[in-house]
């Protein structure tokens, strides 16, 4: 049985450049994790630039992947329960990763991350967004 951190999706997509996705992680698990992380990041981007179309792009992307995201959510929920964790704790790991990465960026870095996310959401390209290494907190229940 995979640990929720690995199940948490080797995820945070191991490299900041999301282009190298771990092969051992189910694509639906990745989509669920991304849906959580991208929602948070798109909110941050919208605060930085209220005129950005990022929320609409996120909603469209979410709609296109909704059934696969739901399958990923169900599987991760089951994994979490088997490990005595709550779904809230798993989601909090994802959100912490996004917030930690955002906090480490300067204004130009944040703008670039928002541009890359918007590009990914609109064109389906892999964006260089979200997480550095998994936080230590992810290893504790």
Q: What is the pLDDT of residues 97-115, one digit of tens each?
A: 999 999 999 999 999 999 9
Q: Compute the half-sphere exposure of residue 136: CA atoms within 13 Å on the CB side of its CA.
A: 0
Q: What is the pLDDT of residues 76-87, one digit of tens each?
A: 999 889 889 899
Give the closest residue to 6 by CA, choosing from 83, 113, 86. Answer: 83
Radius of gyration of the chain (CA): 14
pTM above 0.85, yes or no: no
Domain boundaries defined on the chain: 4-139
Q: What is the pLDDT of residues 33-79, one digit of tens each?
A: 999 999 999 999 999 999 999 999 999 999 999 999 999 999 999 98
Residues with Cβ within 8 Å of residue 82, at least 6 apart in sequence: 1
Give the Cα separation of 104 and 99 in Å (integer). 9
């Amino acid at each position: 049985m995979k640990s929720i951190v690995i199940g948490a999706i080797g995820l945070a997509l191991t490299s900041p450049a999301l282009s190298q996705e771990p092969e051992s992680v189910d694509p639906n698990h990745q989509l669920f994790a991304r849906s959580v992380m991208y929602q948070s990041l798109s909110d941050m981007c919208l605060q930085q630039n209220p005129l950005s179309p990022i929320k609409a792009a996120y909603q469209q992307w979410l709609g296109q992947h909704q059934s696969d995201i739901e399958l990923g959510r169900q599987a991760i929920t089951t994994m979490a329960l088997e490990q005595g964790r709550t779904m809230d704790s798993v989601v909090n790991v994802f959100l912490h990763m996004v917030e930690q990465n955002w906090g480490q960026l300067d204004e130009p870095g944040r703008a670039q991350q928002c541009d890359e996310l918007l590009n990914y959401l609109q064109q389906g390209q892999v964006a260089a967004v979200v997480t550095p290494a998994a936080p230590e907190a992810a290893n504790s229940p």
